Chain A
Amino acid sequence: MTKSTMTRRNHAVWVGALISLIGLISYFTFFARFPALRDVPKVNFALVLIGLAVSAWGLLRRRSLWSITGLAVSAACAGLLAAYVFVLSYGLPDAEHAIQVGETAPAFALPDQEGRITTLEEYRGSNLVLVFYRGFW
């Protein structure tokens, strides 16, 4: 095995780590904008798995602390994405206290984005779709 081949193979671990990192970050910065790819992050899971596979292949070819670190970075990216998708994003409170169908909606009077006070009473006689958002845009 020539020296240049060994160097390139050693780089594979970090190329894999970079693919995994892109797989993790691009979910939040890009792919989450598309409902189908947000609900089931197919592209992002594919990217982190490809990254992980490339890193693992690189480590098999050339074992060193540097390579192990690269694989660890790949694995961390895949783990963080999985943790967010399968655990963190389910972190919502029990819905048992939430208003039920058939109950009367509580009155409110809140300022809109122009500061104008808006009340539930203004919507009497119409259907109102009231959407609660987590916010912090």
Chain B
Amino acid sequence: MGTELAAVSVDPVADNRRVADQLGLDFPILADESHSVVTDYGVLHVGGGIGGRDIARPAILLIGPDGTVTWRHLTENWRVRIRPEKLIAVLRGVG
């Protein structure tokens, strides 16, 4: 079964295009400038950004083929994110 990757932040499209170009990213980086999706998913960090901007807290969700959340990782420290090898192990687990 295929696994897709997508990122979300509250940054505008132009910023995401620059980052994707700089880092050579070929997965979609979605711009949630209105914070609506971040809010729907309950991962809004009010005042967490530069100058007190509202941003997304770091979070990784695995959404199954039927649209159900099958795994999530919410770090309690923004410096410490999940390692790619751990995530790959999780993905192997769901086949």
Partner-B contacts on A (CB < 8 A): 32, 35, 38-39, 85, 89-93, 95, 97-106, 108, 110-116, 118, 120, 123-137
Contacts and interface: CB of A to CB of B under 8 A. Distances in A.
Interface of B: 1-11, 13, 15-20, 25, 28-32, 37-38, 40-46, 48-50, 53, 55-72, 74-81, 83, 87, 91, 94
A92 B57 contact: yes
B38 to A, nearest CB: 7
Contact of A98 (B9, B29, B43, B63): B43
Q: Which of B25, B29, B40, B48: most chain A CB closer than 10 A? A: B29
A111 B79 contact: no
Looking at chain B's contact residues, the main secondary structure is mixed
Looking at chain A's contact residues, the main secondary structure is loop
